């Protein structure tokens, strides 16, 4: 009998590989009818159902595979991923917790739990799970990245920066992490600016610019900070840099014109107005009413 099951299983794999999924499903089901306790067949059946986007049936098959062999992490991972595809995040969390109960020192399971918590809107618990993954494996790049993103989401920018810096220490060639670090410094600067801690805001923007001198957002936001403390020459310089990088940024042109007027450089205001007319006529009209009408 089991030989017949193996024959059906092999046939299922053959159909699976050549993408004849209905025939693969039929063969796997025949194998299961003969031997319903073969976890591998259930797993492959689940995979085929995923490929044809029949996710509820995939979940049923993966659940059977996990029931038969709960210790095999690939089965649980596929079940978790399918729950996430269906946005069934509490169920995905339960699968991750099951993995951790089996092996509390499985860094990947903690990492996956963190991702599931984050998707479920439980950022605090996501941070705790990422920290556990990093405790077990201090070089776990994805866990450091997710930790940085979670801190960023909560507005805990210094902690986010620490996480990204750890990630850069591990993999200094990862351009995406450098980008995230620039964005985080910029967010930190804006947070300081909102509470009027301008020196700290400017320092954060300068850190962003030090990493990427071609980031227009950091220059633009630093210009706003200088504007707000009435250091108009420095604001002008920052806006000019933002415009050098992104000449089509109407907001930067508008702020540059405002700073020119406040700095007494009225001759420059008309130049800005003419440029704004080509970029954003509505903004140009507002600029004219604010800065050029008597």
Same domain, 64 and 108: no
pLDDT for position 294: 59
Q: Is 148 inside a domain boundary?
A: yes
Same domain, 62 and 131: no
pLDDT for position 293: 64
Q: Is 94 inside a domain boundary?
A: yes
Q: Is 137 inside a domain boundary?
A: yes
Q: Is 261 inside a domain boundary?
A: no
Same domain, 103 and 51: no
Task: Write down which residue in 40, 68, 96 finishes a domain.
Answer: 68
Residue 73, CA distances (Å) to 65, 103, 115, 217, 249 in order:
11, 10, 17, 43, 50
Q: Name the pTM for this structure.
A: 0.75
pLDDT for position 228: 96
pLDDT for position 208: 94
Same domain, 38 and 99: no
Same domain, 111 and 166: yes
- Domain range enclosing 7: 1-68
> b/e for 245-268, b at 16 or more Cβ within 10 A?
bbeebbebbbbbbbbbbeeebeeb
Same domain, 60 and 130: no
Q: Is 133 inside a domain boundary?
A: yes
Task: Write down which residue in 137, 170, 203 finishes a domain.
Answer: 170
pLDDT for position 2: 63
Walk along the chain (294 residues) in steps of 10 and give the mean pLDDT of each run: 84 96 97 95 97 97 96 93 96 96 95 97 98 97 94 92 90 88 91 92 95 95 97 98 97 95 91 92 88 69
Q: Is 257 inside a domain boundary?
A: no
Structural domains counted in the chain: 2
pLDDT for position 282: 92
Residue 176: count of CB within 10 angstroms of its CB: 10
Answer yes or no: are the C-beta atoms of 112 and 141 closer than 8 Å. no
Same domain, 101 and 150: yes
Q: Which are the contacts of 217, defined by CB distance < 8 A and separation ≥ 6?
A: 186, 242
Same domain, 94 and 48: no
Task: Write down which residue in 112, 141, 170 finishes a domain.
Answer: 170
For 135, the token pair is 């405790």
For 68, the token pair is 């038969």
In whole angstroms, what is the distance from residue 269 CA to residue 291 CA? 8
pLDDT for position 289: 86
Burial class, 63, CB count within 10 angstroms (exposed 0-12 / middle 13-18 / buried 19+): middle
pLDDT for position 174: 85
Q: Is 161 inside a domain boundary?
A: yes
Look up the CATH number of the domain holding residue 20: 1.25.40.10
Answer yes or no: are the C-beta atoms of 112 and 96 closer than 8 Å. yes
Answer yes or no: are the C-beta atoms of 234 and 246 closer than 8 Å. no
Residue 93, CA distances (Å) to 23, 133, 142, 190, 198 in order:
33, 15, 18, 34, 42
Q: What is the DSSP letter of 177?
A: H
In whole angstroms, what is the distance from residue 237 CA to residue 25 CA? 66
Same domain, 25 and 57: yes
């Amino acid at each position: 009998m089991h030989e017949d099951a193996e024959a059906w299983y092999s046939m299922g794999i053959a159909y699976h590989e050549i993408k004849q999924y209905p025939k693969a499903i039929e063969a796997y089901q025949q194998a299961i009818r003969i031997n319903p306790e073969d976890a591998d067949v259930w797993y492959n059946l689940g995979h085929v159902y995923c490929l044809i986007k029949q996710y509820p049936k995939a979940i049923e098959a993966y659940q059977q595979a996990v029931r038969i062999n709960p210790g095999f992490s690939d089965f649980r991972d596929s079940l978790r991923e399918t729950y996430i595809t269906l946005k069934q995040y509490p169920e995905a969390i339960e699968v991750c917790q099951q993995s951790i109960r089996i092996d509390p020192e499985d860094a990947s399971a903690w990492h996956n739990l963190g991702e599931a918590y984050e998707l479920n809107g439980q950022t605090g618990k996501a941070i705790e799970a990422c920290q556990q993954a990093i405790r077990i494996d201090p070089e776990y790049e994805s866990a450091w990245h997710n930790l940085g993103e979670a801190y960023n989401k909560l507005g805990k920018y210094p902690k986010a920066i620490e996480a990204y810096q750890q990630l850069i220490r591990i993999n200094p060639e990862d351009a995406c992490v450098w980008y995230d670090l620039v964005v985080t410094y910029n967010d930190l600067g804006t947070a300081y600016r909102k509470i009027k801690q301008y020196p700290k805001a400017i320092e954060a923007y300068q850190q962003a610019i030090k990493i990427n001198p071609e980031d227009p957002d950091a220059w633009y936001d630093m210009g706003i900070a200088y504007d707000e403390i009435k250091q108009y020459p420095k604001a002008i310089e920052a806006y000019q840099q933002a415009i050098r990088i992104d000449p089509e940024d109407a907001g930067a042109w508008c702020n540059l014109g405002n700073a020119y007027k406040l700095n007494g450089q009225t001759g420059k205001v008309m130049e800005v107005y003419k440029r704004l007319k080509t970029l954003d006529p509505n903004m140009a009209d507002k600029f004219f009413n604010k800065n050029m009408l008597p």
